[in-house]
Chains A and B, each alone.
Chain A
């Protein structure tokens, strides 16, 4: 457990000291969302109609943007190998790093989303559901991203490769995340979508660390 906390603290410290990571992701999220009113026009009804999908899709892309660095620095400077053979099981190492990634990117994205929702004229009633769906969904993106980032370590064109791998797998999160917000917006119950999102998160929590750990072992072989 101590090792888990140590890895978590180390990665969070690195993210905080660097600082740029979180702010770049948030900046990308805000700019990407702001592109839509410019493209589809400023009609409030149209914007409110597409708001759940736009916010969710752009949060997905913003999270994707930050994935490449998840293991890359440790892989390059050689610290990944001792980390993998250290006291902490590789699966827990993945979990610690994914948690740190989520705290540094997913959580800020979820908190920023309602503010950007105002831009898109999303009704206030839908805001709590937007926040809840992102809080449930962004951890899945960090976990799936950990698998993708571990698989792409040392690959040519890793960035594009990562998108090709992670985007199809994150489709359920996008569908049910945006679906929950849309139901809340149209006065339907959002709970079913949120429950499915929660179950997707639990499956990802069980499967992804194992898959990512297997990929990391291959990478340092």
Chain B
């Protein structure tokens, strides 16, 4: 009973925070702190990853690309799941803030996916001798980027933005089939890309001296995303209110 009422209370609080006016106020307070914390962790992670952590016994100094590449890949997948989830939430609950948040998050996810592909390419040249190979991990990650493109294009393709939001939400949910393929591609197929060494059964197979800067960077990426996402969602919400106010004043002018 207590748990149920606690969940209800949390739900109520979230709903209140999701009211557009309240959201603009809350996010305005949050953004500087999240951004500052993210920037600090980013600097700390970079210093730790690029200077303090040891080079790899096989890959040498190039292993340091990992501290950008892996967090970006995680974010690419995480943000897609988030966009799909928000879209689903919007379709079921019809809350406009969910759609605004999804529209704000999708280009950020595409950016992280692109960073992952570019850093991976820079890493692939010295290690594999090729900028690009068509193995399952790389291909499924490229498809993820294309799914982001489809989502972004569809959500902006209609005169009525609500229709674009809903259509993009459906596409986002359908595209979710790609997420497990990306994650498990290194296990299902014999890929040139190495298998998972952090999130796997039996604990991470990576030395703490490398795991720490990696986790630091992962946390920094998440915070930076969160800050940018709040800014973009806020802009969407404020923009929608401005447009509503403009059309109201136009109607009053005509009368």
Contact = CB atoms under 8 A, between A and B. Distances in A.
Interface of A: 147, 151-152, 154-158, 161, 164-165, 167-169, 171, 203, 207-208, 211, 214-215, 218-219, 221
B62 to A, nearest CB: 30
A219 B91 contact: no
Contacts of A156: 157-159
B154 to A, nearest CB: 6
B173 A211 contact: yes
B154 A151 contact: yes
Given A151-B154, A155-B158, A165-B150, A211 B174 contact: yes
Most interface-central of B139, B158, B167 (chain A CB within 10 A): B167
Contact of A157 (B91, B150, B157): B157
A168 B146 contact: yes
Interface in B126-176: 139, 143, 146-147, 149-150, 153-154, 157-159, 163-164, 166-167, 170-171, 173-175
A139 to B, nearest CB: 17
Contacts, number: 63
A161 B157 contact: yes
The 8 A-B pairs with the shortest beta carbon distances in the complex, nearest first, are A155-B157, A168-B146, A165-B150, A151-B167, A218-B166, A164-B150, A168-B143, A215-B170
Contact of B147 (A154, A168, A211, A214): A168
B170 A219 contact: no
Contacts of B153: 161, 164-165
A203 B177 CA distance: 10
Contacts of A158: 157
A164 B149 CA distance: 7
Nearest to B143: A168
A151 B170 contact: yes
A154 B174 contact: no
Contacts of A221: 163
A167 B154 contact: no
Contacts of A167: 146
B146 A152 contact: no
B157 A218 contact: no
B167 A215 contact: yes
Given A164-B146, A218-B166, A151 B171 contact: yes
Interface string B107-141: 00000000000000000000000000000000100
B173 A169 contact: no
Nearest to B152: A164
A77 B157 CA distance: 21
B45 to A, nearest CB: 32
26 contacts: A152-B154, A152-B157, A152-B167, A154-B158, A155-B154, A155-B157, A156-B157, A157-B157, A161-B150, A161-B154, A161-B157, A164-B149, A165-B150, A168-B150, A168-B175, A168-B178, A169-B175, A169-B177, A171-B139, A203-B177, A207-B174, A211-B174, A215-B167, A215-B170, A218-B166, A218-B167
Contacts of A219: 163
Contacts of A211: 170, 173-174
A165 B155 CA distance: 12
